[in-house]
Amino acid sequence: MALLQIAEPGQSPEPHQRKLAVGIDLGTTNSLVATVRSGDAATLADEGGSHLLPSVVRYTEQGVVIGQAALAQASVDPFNTIVSVKRLMGRGAKDLKGLHGEAVYRFADREGGMPFLQTVAGDKSPVEISGEILKTLKARALATLDGELEGAVITVPAYFDDAQRQATKDAAQLAGIKVLRLLNEPTAAAVAYGLDEGAEGVIAVYDLGGGTFDISILRLNKGVFEVLSTGGDSALGGDDFDLALAQWFLEQLGGAEVVAGESRYLTEKARWTKEQLTDNESVRVELDHGGQKVELDVTRELFDGLINDLVGKTVRACRRALKDADVTADEVLEVVMVGGSTRVPLVRSRVEKFFNRKPHIDIDPDRVVAVGAAIQADVLAGNKPDSEMLLLDVLPLSLGLETMGGLAEKVIHRNTSIPVARAQEFTTYQDGQTAMMIHVVQGERELISDCRSLAQFVLRGIPPMAAGAAKIRVSFQVDADGLLSVSAKELSTGVESEIQVKPSYGLADNEIAAMLKASYSNAEEDMQARSLREQQVEADRLLVSLDQAIETDGATLLTAEEIKHLQEQMAILLALRNGEDYKAIEYGVQVLAQASDFFAARRMDQSIKNALKGHSVDEIEGNT
């Protein structure tokens, strides 16, 4: 019955048919790309042999420089050299005041919540800057591997909110990377440790990177990694250790006024000192200050004193995460350490003391996340159809709506398993009211002003009725990536309200399109070619999966007439797919998808029945 001659992605691929998929760790300080080759997951190196790509982007009049070469110029050209851009992702201009390290940049005065940085190459958003890092990693993957990239699993801190996740996904879009999944960094680390093999029980992943801290408690069972709870601080990391030490340097230098370049110089010196103190009890630092050389001795004890409160904050987050997961420290079987900052001896000793067991540090903490992401990418691309592995995440921060008096009402609580969908009903409070303002927020606090604003929108076109008569249902849906979508409908009349959305932070659709366009030299043609390719891929996916579905389930779930009708529709799309008109293909995909919805739903119901085969019928009948 096979109608199309297209290789099915899930079926025992020959080596050359394997789908190319990579895992990307888009870090605050360094980024990495990894992939699975002949069964082994490993990070990929650049031509010079280095695996770590410093997450630094420098804009010059001649072009963009990324990585080590950019980092080398960071203190010489501070305004055009962007470091730790991850800390700016999904943030509003107002948030930046709290991030002392980034104060050196010049922010453009613009409409909208997202801060743009002024550079010699024009104003750049954090999304574009991250996109440059991703492009470099993609190029590295393509240079090392053969063929077209199917997609990538990109890791994010578990504690990232919706705006930060969306910004990461947007950056991937700008880099021309299809995101197979946004995966939480601690989950990726657990996968890399292969703790699923044989291990069953509760594990804790402590992830302290350059700019973010995460703690996740997971339960492992037969290949399923289930996140029970997660906590942390998306603005706390090793950079803060550097800043604390740089501040101390400054005090020793007499607290003189610093200029942009010098503050960067001092934090670089502080970072070097911190690294030395990992293996040494004390270190001598030479500082160049206003033309004179100053020498300082720094002991580990002194450094520990400077960062003790910061580390204490992470330990408190561990306690809370255990409580949320409803497990005790004794029940934790394994502790995994991730992130370069877990090399700091004080971090290791305090974590060991809290969990009362030696943490795992055997895999390079810098690479472990990328490796885990690569393993997941391999499975998601369909290269391992028999894999039992499944990663189940939770929502890190509660989602809610603004109610009267500036209060936040939670609609979905944090640590709820995702995907999740919830609906809330609202009514009008005035006679004849035809519009309603809805404000979506994320966070744990009671007051709207203490939560993160995600979006505001106005429902219009509510039919005029007496106060309290209209029933408006607002539905929240969070997908497996932790991304929220909202929809609204007036129930009594069935009118779908027109919505105007004002994003709080982030880029609107047309801004992304404009940036994509600008990034091509032959903008119009390239855009066309890319759109055509994207639509062809989407058409192929649909055709292949339908063909496969008809072959396996057509006989049992469809009538001969239904099969005939579907195959006619498929032939139409196939004809369109081989043409040049991407809009026609897009339309064809929609038509065929709609025509086959009933079949997808029947298959899903059958899967549920099969999954429960042997249990359900007797037990239910015996008890009702």
Partner 1 sequence: MWRELQYLIHNFLPAGLQMDITQSYFEFLGLPVSYQLDQQALSERARELQKTLHPDRFSHLSDRERRLSVQYTAYLNEAVATLKNPLTRAQYLLQLEGVDTFSESRVQLDPMFLMQQMELREAVESIPDADDPEAEIEEQLQVVEQQMQELRQQFATFCVQNSPSALEAAAACVRKMQFIDKLGREIELLEDQLFDD
By annotation, the residues acting in catalysis are: 25, 86, 185, 207
- Among 272, 382, 527, 531, which residue sits at the site for partner 1 (rule: CB under 8 A)? 382
Which CB atom, from 73 or from 424, has the smaller least distance to partner 1?
Answer: 424
Considering only residues 168-187, where is the footprint of partner 1 by CB under 8 A?
180-181
- Binding to partner 1 (CB under 8 A) within 93-122 occurs at none
Q: Does 509 bind partner 1 (CB under 8 A)?
A: yes
Give backbone dihedrals phi and psi of 157, rounded to 5 degrees, phi first.
Answer: -60, 140
Tokens 């650049």, residue located: 46
State the Cα–Cα distance between residues 141 and 263, nearest whole angstrom. Answer: 35
Q: How far is the CB of 323 from partner 1 (least distance, A)?
A: 8
Q: Judged by CB under 8 A, does residue 503 bind partner 1?
A: yes
- Give the residue with the Cβ less far from partner 1, 288 or 597: 597
The CB density around residue 598, as the number of other CB atoms within 10 Å, is 13
Report residue 293: phi and psi, to 5°.
Answer: -90, 135
Nearer to partner 1, 143 or 598 (CB): 598
Binding partner 1 by CB under 8 A: which of 6, 93, 121, 224? 224
Q: Which of 430, 522, 556, 624 binds partner 1 (CB under 8 A)?
A: 624
Distance CA 59, CA 12 (A): 45
Strand partners, 298: 283
Going by the DSSP 8-state scheme, the letter that residue 522 receives in this structure is T
Assign 3-class secondary structure to 125-156: CHHHHHHHHHHHHHHHHHHHCCCCEEEEEEEE
Residue pair 337/354 in contact by the 8 Å Cβ criterion: no
162 binds partner 1 (CB under 8 A): yes
State which of positions 531-570 bind partner 1 (CB under 8 A). Answer: 538, 541-542, 545-546
Exactly one of 41, 373, 391, 566 binds partner 1 (CB under 8 A); which one? 391
Q: Of 392, 458, 495, 529, which lies in the binding site for partner 1, with binding defined by CB under 8 A? A: 392
Closest by Cα among 530, 510, 511 to 520: 530
Query: Which one, of 548, 547, 583, lies nearest residue 566 by Cα?
Result: 547
Binding flag, residue 232, partner 1 (CB under 8 A): no
Strand pairing class (30-37; 40-43): antiparallel
Torsion of CA 128, 130, 132, 133, to 10 degrees: 180
Compute how many residues bind partner 1; rule: CB under 8 A: 79
Between CA 83 and CA 73 the distance in angstroms is 11
User: Minimum distance from CB of 471 to partner 1 (Å)?
Assistant: 13
Q: Output the smallest distance, CB 460 to partner 1, in A.
A: 11
Q: Is 19 in the site for partner 1 (CB under 8 A)?
A: yes
Of 25, 47, 22, 81, residue with least CA distance to 340: 25
282 lines the binding site for partner 1 (CB under 8 A): no
Which position among 103, 407, 508, 514 is part of the footprint of partner 1 (CB under 8 A)?
A: 508
Site for partner 1 in 312-351 (CB under 8 A): 316, 320
Q: How far apart are CA 393 and CA 20, in angstroms?
A: 25
Please tell me whether residue 454 binds partner 1 under the rule CB under 8 A.
Answer: yes
Q: Measured between alpha carbons, how far is 362 from 197 in angstroms, rounded to an integer? A: 16
User: What is the nearest approach in angstroms of partner 1 to the Cβ of residue 392?
Assistant: 6
Q: Which of 33, 380, 448, 462 binds partner 1 (CB under 8 A)?
A: 380
Q: Given candidates 28, 81, 164, 596, which one binds partner 1 under the rule CB under 8 A?
A: 596
Give whichever of 70 and 512 is closer to partner 1, judged by the CB atom.
Answer: 512
- The stretch near partner 1 (CB under 8 A) out of 26-34, 59-67, 251-259, 475-483 is 475-483
For residue 300, the Cα-to-chain-centroid distance in whole angstroms is 35
